[in-house]
A and B are shown apart, each in its own frame.
Chain A
Amino acid sequence: MPDIKAGRLDGGSLSDNFSDMLPGFARNEARVAAERCLFCHDAPCVKACPTSIDIPLFIRQIAAQNPIGAARTILDQNIMGAMCARVCPTENLCEGVCVREVSEGKAIEIGRLQRYATDAAFDAGRQFYSAGASTGRSVAVVGAGPAGLACAHKLATLGHAVTVFEARDKAGGLNEFGIAAYKATHDIAQREVDYIMAVGNITIEHGKRLGRDITVAGLRREFDAVFLAMGLGETNDLGLGDEPAGVLDAVDYIAALRQAPDKAALPVGRRVVVIGGGMTAIDIATQTRKLGAAEVTIVYRRGKEQMSASPYEQDVAQTHGVTIRHWMRPVRLHAQAGALSGVDLEYTRLEEGKLVGTGEIVTMPCDQVFKAIGQVFVPADIADAGAGITMQSGRILIDAERRTSWAGVWAGGDCVAGGQDLTVTAVEDGKQAALSIDRTLRGTAAQAAE
């Protein structure tokens, strides 16, 4: 029988395990870290930041003991700077190109410094933004995740009235539901949402799902502009037929874990297999270990280099006792009395650039399998738009200004094609879309007045 149960660890251990994995800087730590920054000219880190935060400037502000000013520098470019400080794969972005990384192999700790500054502003209750003078225009935003909220915030500061439609009863999107609990402690995702909402001129209508309660065409009629940012609706399937009990969607489990007030209530297997190679795989693997799973194995069909999880994230998982197996893929699920008992894994290799199975199969007994092989966009949600919205590779096609092919409709975040599926890129999408919407609405207004 599968060994799945709640409360594998006592409350104290769970509380330790789900506390801040990398605590914020103390004041002097921050100053020392900040003083290492060289204040580069035309700094590579700024170019590597999808939201173009003036990193050398905010770090200098920290060094000059003005963390609140540093927070303003950050939030001016990225209103979700607090969460991005925690979840950005900085080693692939700003820190990866830091000249100190290049020269010494030790980048300025930009992410942690950003957290230090934004925490300081939040703790001090400093609000930098307010709603702009009303333009009389209204914009509908679909999805209260990073892209949607970033767009709503920028629009509100520019004077537009924003209504956000959100399927869930809580705002924040993947920041609230999709990030490992130990990365977003102290309710930071909600504090950030509150900070954004405090600007005013933004209304969130919860329980409104696109395609069920609202339609793109309807919003387009009702509002002057529409921004689509509903993310991805479904998790990819393993493609192994009927799934016995014990095969779970990692995204759902991560969301449940984040929302669970008592982590001991979550049932977790003794032996856990995670299928996938991205951040979701890392987050579910690490967190099931933290819940008390005895053996957790990530199975990825390609090599270490191809994993979309950053090397740092891979290290985090391995430090927590997660085993990562490369070049293997699941080919069959074993069940006993309708419950999962194991998974057959086939070795893989590349043949002329194509991934193929070698035919060699091993059986890994397990109690739970988590699917973390990516999510897909649900086209049915925008079916009413018909051919109005052009798709590409299963997601919405946008231009540089985040305009879809349907006039008056913009899109951003994970639901658009070609993105990196990061919080920070979603925020940039939202910001750029808001600026584009603003330009468009003001242009129209100018024309109407003539």
Chain B
Amino acid sequence: MADLSVNFAGIRAPNPFWLASAPPTDKEYNVVRAFKAGWGGVVWKTLGEEGPPIVNVSGPRYGAMHASDRRVIGFNNIELITDRPLQVNLEEIKRVKKEWPDRAMVVSLMVPCDEESWKKILQRVEWTECDGVELNFGCPHGMSERGMGAAVGQVPEYVEMVTRWCKQHTRMPVIVKLTPNVGNILRPAEAAVKGGADAVSLINTVNSMMGVDLDAMSPWPHVGGKGTHGGMCGPVVKPIALNMVAEIARTPATRTPATRGIAMSGIGGIESWKDAAEYMALGCGTVQVCTAAMVYGFKIVEEMKAGLSDWMDTKGYRTIEDFRGMAAPKVTDWQHLNLDYVVKAHIDQDLCISCGRCHIACEDTSHQAITNLVNGVRRFEVIEEECVGCNLCAVVCPVENCITMVEMTEGVDPRTGIAVGGHRTWMEHPNNPMARNPQAAGVAGTVAEPAE
């Protein structure tokens, strides 16, 4: 059986499934329930500085995007950091860590952007003997208006500065949580690395409005008739998060100090072992979960642990390190893709249920490469002379694996008249006026041109 234990930036845990800093980790009661359920660690809900407790709205804090079966596919919130007194939180953290020494206990922090505030809070937190801290530079609502959260995370210089303060004032590992609400995730990630962060976690929630109430003519949900943007998470943000993780994983500036890059904790739409494995394949050492737990309860971790372990056994991976980051080198820029790689859609007629979606999608919006009638009979076949291998038909097909993209390994592409098997990227392509290898371009060009 696979070993799921992790050592993440020096923090040990029996498994990589941690609960993200959020309502599920706001107090002892919940966290103890989570540990009993089997979670490998938690990031305690963000603590703020000493003072009057935070006040949350008493109207709706959460909104959601539902699939037809009411499955929550997107979730957003306008909840602030913990609204419980700092000392109460600290005592609970200390107690829980003592009772559950094998689990990772990371404490999320957000205080005003001055060194003294950070120094003060770090000292208080060290007293709990927790395993590390996570700097909340991501929260996009409420706190950001007070100069914290995303307001810091969106300015790389602040990220670097605060990270450096924290590294100076604590012996604990420092994880910097990144906001996705930036133009380029690499800038704050690089700043975190420069500041000396032990790890980054990403993504925090995405600025969002879940809907508009067409009767009230206000955002939905709203608080007393007015609404504000919230932070979105859940399955819909996973593609955004994966891309940001991949960007960090493949960029030299963020791959220091170790050859495999800065430690990353993946966050965003993780509902199953498979989601987690994808983050890990891009380089994440742990994953953090919130939405799925808030929708289904803590028991979901059982599926995650069993699923990951079973899959690792199938693949022969003994530890997470055996496969972590394996997919990252495959992430590249468009200009490095092989333009001579040719696939054609293939429809498995035995699986086809004749819904016609592939046909109409291709016919109306793409390349007119799928029939709807063959000899007067309803039948959907690929016209290889027209098929560009775009994958649209496979995307819209309701039957899994009915339409597949099959690589042409020999012969001539009937669409372009070009022999397959070549390898030209845009960098060498004859149609690229700035091609780096004009000689090769010229040769290839003689093949390409007659098609015009």
Contacts and interface: CB of A to CB of B under 8 A. Distances in A.
Chain A interface size range: 10 to 19
B68 A31 contact: yes
A32 B357 CA distance: 20
Most buried by A among B356, B360, B399: B356
A305 interface: no
A37 to B, nearest CB: 10
A42 B356 contact: yes
A44 B68 contact: no
Interface residues of B, number: 15
B68 A40 contact: no
Contact of A41 (B67, B359, B398): B359
B68 A63 contact: yes
Contacts of B70: 28, 32
Contacts of A38: 355, 357, 398
A32 B68 CA distance: 5
B117 interface: no
A35 B378 CA distance: 24
Contact of B357 (A35, A39, A63, A103): A39
B372 interface: yes
Contacts of A28: 70
A41 B355 contact: yes
B177 to A, nearest CB: 36
Interface string A17-45: 00000000000100110110011111110
B434 interface: no
A252 B37 CA distance: 66
B69 interface: yes
A32 B69 contact: yes
B73 to A, nearest CB: 13
B353 interface: yes
B399 A40 contact: no
A40 B69 contact: no
B123 interface: no
Contacts of A34: 68
Nearest to A40: B355
A6 interface: no
A75 interface: no
A99 B68 contact: no
Contacts of A43: 356
Contacts of B68: 31-32, 34-35, 63
Contacts of A41: 355-357, 359-360, 372
A99 B353 CA distance: 6
A100 interface: yes
A43 B360 CA distance: 11
Contacts of A39: 357
A100 B353 contact: yes
A445 interface: no
Interface string B325-367: 0000000000000000000000000000111110110000000
Contacts of B67: 35
Contact of A44 (B354, B357, B372): B354
Interface string A245-281: 0000000000000000000000000000000000000
B353 A102 contact: yes
Contact of B354 (A31, A35, A63, A102): A102
Given A32-B68, A44-B378, 11 more contacts: A35-B67, A38-B355, A40-B354, A40-B356, A40-B357, A41-B356, A41-B359, A42-B360, A43-B356, A99-B355, A102-B353
26 contacts: A32-B68, A32-B69, A32-B70, A35-B67, A35-B68, A35-B69, A38-B355, A38-B357, A38-B398, A39-B357, A40-B354, A40-B355, A40-B356, A40-B357, A41-B356, A41-B357, A41-B359, A41-B360, A41-B372, A42-B356, A42-B360, A44-B354, A44-B378, A102-B353, A102-B354, A103-B399
Which 9 pairs from chain A and chain B are nearest by CB? A35-B68, A41-B356, A41-B360, A103-B353, A40-B355, A99-B353, A38-B355, A99-B355, A40-B356
